[in-house]
Amino acid sequence: MQTDKEVVLAEALLLLLTIACEDFKAVVKGCFDVFGLDGRIEAQLMLQLLAFLGAKDRDSVSEAVQQEAAKVLEGVDDVSYGELEGVPLLWKKLGGNA
């Protein structure tokens, strides 16, 4: 569980990613660079980041995407970018064919 200060820092870093990256796919990939370890990110942190992005841009991360991600990642410790293919609505937003 993250502290309030860690959450604020994560949100600030995520905002910087949205400014620096050219598209949504680059932002999500950047999350793995900034918040991940060995190409993996904690599933709960990924859900928090998606929720924060969704609060700022519903077109990129709708409530349906967040709900599907929460269901798929339930009980999962960490996830790689490629494993997001298991979240079809998100994967489609990332340019995948799911």
| Per-residue pLDDT tens over the stretch 63-90 | 999 999 999 999 999 999 999 999 999 9
Which domain does 77 fall in, by range? 4-93
Closest by Cα among 2, 94, 91, 7 to 55: 7
Q: Is residue 68 part of a domain?
A: yes
Question: What total of structural domains would you count in the chain?
Answer: 1
The answer, yes or no, to whether residue 97 has pLDDT greater than 80, is: no
For the segment 44-56, what is each residue's pLDDT rounded down to a tens digit? 999 999 999 999 8
pTM: 0.86
Helices (H), 21-62: 24-35, 43-56
Share of the chain above pLDDT 90, in %: 79
Residues 6+ apart with CB under 8 A from 45: 2, 10, 35
The answer, yes or no, to whether residue 15 has pLDDT greater than 50, is: yes
Cα–Cα dist 92/70, whole Å: 16
First-to-final CA distance of the chain: 31
